[in-house]
């Protein structure tokens, strides 16, 4: 197994193209190094992307945040203006693992590890984040919800990797939230995760919304039916009940040691309600 | 076997070695540099026994490749005391018996030091959350948390 840490995207793309697919992209390594040690992965090349400057910074361009794919959770949590504009995205990333894991774990790794229970992904999907993906054919945009397709599998080509996440411009009265359910208070894998992002009009009526669920299907779900229950309405019990029902209807979970199908389905609705209440509150304050 | 040439600083000293790709920073510290204070517990980032500070970030040395640490600045438990002068956290852990078997202790000390450098006056909740990635099967955590709180209190008194 070789190790390479290129300093330019072109070098990284060339190394990927030369590798015949026998390569793993190394970002924070908090999943990959565990899989390596367990013998689940044995690539010929470890391609470390943490020395690529484009992947290592958080910038604002044309009023939009760009989050490098290999920025750590701790760096996102320390970025006050990102946290101010996108508290749900930042909180979701910060829910991953311990202080030690936060020092390494990255949103790009969380996305491309392609776990349906990845915490940052529903929040990114709800936010409407777009990934910049590079490969031999050049660069392309890919919506976050289109990256993970099944557990451990992404839609990326063998010579492609994620450079950054671009969050949309934030209009006034917008807010997001992510909640996950775990049976303890810290350091566990989501039984269900729910991300809600809303934009309100001056009158408090929701003009735009996105709702996303994690750990209730083989991939993180964007749930337009749930968002449609919010759009055009103010938040009240009836709207929350419809949101809850739309989320439950979208679930296709598995039974496992962390939760049954029935349990996950019910919790998805409850979490979506609670996340919606927080997102509306945050939007109302801005 | 393809090896990577690595330069890094460990506890203020420059070191240089050849590293197999699969060797973790923990493997390098323990087997290459004979710094065996950092312990191998789970090797999966769950227990925190291998906690070190890499470029001012608390990390699990088992979840960093040696090769990734090239150019990095690493602080381990071996660098915590100043010669014979224990760090206040070490002293307080001894005084308050915040350890039993000792395997988790280096990780707790390094993690607690990283906390106090960021937040000199943490609440108990903040201490418990910060140290949630360090597991101890002996103490029940109370004595560790108390020792960290008491150290913070003492260090505040000193710096006044």
Q: With an 8 Å Cβ cutoff, is B45 touching chain A?
A: yes
Alpha-carbon span A131 to A133, nearest angstrom: 6
Q: What is the mean pLDDT of residues A33-50?
A: 95
Average pLDDT, chain A: 96
Q: Which of B56, B68, B71 to mutate to test the interface with A (most CBs of A within 10 A)?
A: B68
Token pair in block for residue B81: 């005391």
Token pair in block for residue B150: 């008491």
Query: For residue A278, what pLDDT is reported?
Result: 98
Q: Are A220 and A116 in contact (CB under 8 A)?
A: yes
Q: What is the mean pLDDT of residues A92-118?
A: 97
Token pair in block for residue B28: 């390098």
Those of residues 79-108 in B touching chain A at CB distance below 8 A are none
Classify B88-159 by CATH class: mainly alpha
Q: Which of B18, B27, B63 to mutate to test the interface with A (most CBs of A within 10 A)?
A: B63
* Complex-level ipTM: 0.96
Residue A186 pLDDT greater than 90, yes or no? no
Query: For residue A185, what pLDDT is reported?
Result: 77
Q: In angstroms, what is the C-alpha Rg of chain B?
A: 16
Instruction: Residue A88: name the closest of A228, A205, A197 by CA.
Output: A197
CATH superfamily, domain B3-79, is Beta-grasp domain (3.10.20.30)
B65 contacts in A (CB within 8 Å)?
3, 26, 29, 33, 46, 48
Q: Quote the longest CA-to-CA distance of chain B.
A: 55
User: Do residue A103 and residue B58 have CB atoms under 8 angstroms apart?
Assistant: yes
What's this model's pTM, rounded to 2 decimal places?
0.96
Helix B88-95, helix B105-118: angle, nearest 10: 130
Domain positions in chain B are: 3-79, 88-159
Q: What is the pLDDT of residues B84-119, one digit of tens each?
A: 999 999 999 999 999 999 999 999 999 999 999 999
Q: What is the pLDDT of residues A18-30, one digit of tens each?
A: 998 899 999 999 9
Alpha-carbon span A132 to A165, nearest angstrom: 7
Q: What is the mean pLDDT of residues B71-78?
A: 98
Residue B55 pLDDT greater than 70, yes or no? yes
Residue A258 pLDDT greater than 80, yes or no? yes
Q: With an 8 Å Cβ cutoff, is B132 touching chain A?
A: yes
Query: For residue A286, what pLDDT is reported?
Result: 78
Residue B160 pLDDT greater than 60, yes or no? no
DSSP per-residue letters across A238-275: HHHHHHHHHHHHH-----BTTB-HHHHHHHHHHHHHHH
Q: Which of B22, B64, B133 sits opposite A97 (nearest CB)?
A: B133
User: Do residue B63 and residue A74 have CB atoms under 8 angstroms apart?
Assistant: no
The pLDDT-based confidence of B158 (bands split at 50, 70, 90) is: confident
Q: What share of chain A has pLDDT > 70, as a percent?
A: 100
Q: With an 8 Å Cβ cutoff, is B111 touching chain A?
A: yes
Instruction: Residue B60: name the closest of A37, A110, A12, A5 by CA.
Output: A37
Q: How many CB atoms lie within 10 A of CB A104?
A: 27
Query: For residue B1, what pLDDT is reported?
Result: 67
Give B155 to chain A, closest Cα distance, Å: 23
Residue B131 pLDDT greater than 60, yes or no? yes
Query: For residue A264, what pLDDT is reported?
Result: 97
Q: Which of B4, B59, B129 sits opposite A100 (nearest CB)?
A: B59
* β-pair partners for A256: A259
Chain A residues interacting with chain B (CB cutoff of 8 angstroms): 1-3, 5, 26, 28-30, 33-34, 36-37, 46, 48, 50, 72, 74, 97-101, 103-104, 186-187
A48 contacts in B (CB within 8 Å)?
65, 67-68
Residue B159 pLDDT greater than 80, yes or no? no
User: Do residue A2 and residue B2 have CB atoms under 8 angstroms apart?
Assistant: yes
Q: With an 8 Å Cβ cutoff, is B144 touching chain A?
A: no
């Amino acid at each position: 197994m070789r190790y390479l840490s290129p300093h330019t995207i072109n070098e990284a793309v060339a190394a990927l193209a030369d590798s015949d697919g026998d390569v793993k992209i190394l970002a924070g390594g908090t999943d990959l190094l565990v899989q390596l040690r367990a013998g689940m992965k044995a690539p010929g090349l470890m391609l470390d992307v943490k020395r690529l400057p484009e992947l290592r910074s958080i910038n604002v361009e044309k009023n939009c945040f760009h989050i490098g794919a290999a920025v750590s959770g701790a760096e996102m949590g320390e970025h006050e203006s990102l946290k101010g504009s996108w508290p749900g995205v930042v909180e979701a990333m910060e829910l991953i693992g311990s202080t030690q894991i936060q020092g390494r774990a990255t949103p790009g790794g969380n996305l491309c590890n392609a776990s349906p229970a990845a915490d940052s992904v529903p929040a990114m999907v709800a936010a409407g984040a777009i990934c910049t993906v590079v490969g031999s054919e050049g660069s392309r945009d890919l919506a976050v919800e289109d990256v993970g397709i099944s557990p451990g599998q992404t839609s990326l080509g063998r010579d492609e990797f994620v450079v950054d996440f671009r969050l949309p411009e934030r209009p006034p009265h917008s807010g997001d939230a992510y909640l996950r359910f775990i049976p303890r208070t810290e350091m566990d894998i989501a039984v269900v995760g729910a991300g809600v992002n809303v934009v309100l009009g001056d009158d408090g009526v929701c003009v735009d919304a996105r709702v996303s669920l994690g750990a209730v299907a083989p991939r993180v779900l964007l749930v337009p039916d749930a968002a449609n229950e919010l759009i055009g309405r103010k938040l009240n019990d009836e709207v929350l009940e419809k949101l809850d029902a739309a989320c439950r209807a979208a679930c296709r979970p598995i039974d496992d040691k962390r939760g049954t199908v029935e349990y996950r389905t019910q919790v998805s609705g409850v979490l979506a309600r609670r996340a919606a209440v927080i997102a509306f509150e945050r939007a109302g304050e801005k | 076997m393809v090896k990577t040439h690595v330069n890094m600083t460990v506890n203020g000293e420059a070191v240089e070695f050849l590293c197999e790709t699969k060797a973790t920073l923990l493997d390098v510290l323990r087997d290459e540099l004979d710094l065996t204070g950092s312990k191998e517990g789970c090797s999966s980032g769950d227990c925190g026994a291998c906690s070190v500070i890499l470029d001012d970030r608390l990390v699990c040395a088992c979840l960093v490749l040696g090769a990734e640490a090239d150019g990095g600045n690493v602080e381990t438990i071996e660098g915590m005391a100043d010669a014979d002068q224990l760090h206040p956290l070490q002293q307080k852990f001894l005084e308050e018996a915040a350890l039993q078997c000792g395997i988790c202790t280096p990780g707790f000390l390094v993690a607690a030091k990283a906390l106090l450098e960021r937040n000199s006056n943490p609440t108990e909740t903040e201490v418990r959350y910060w140290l949630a990635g360090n597991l101890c099967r002996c103490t029940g955590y109370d004595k560790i948390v108390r020792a960290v709180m008491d150290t913070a209190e003492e260090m505040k008194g000193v710096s006044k």
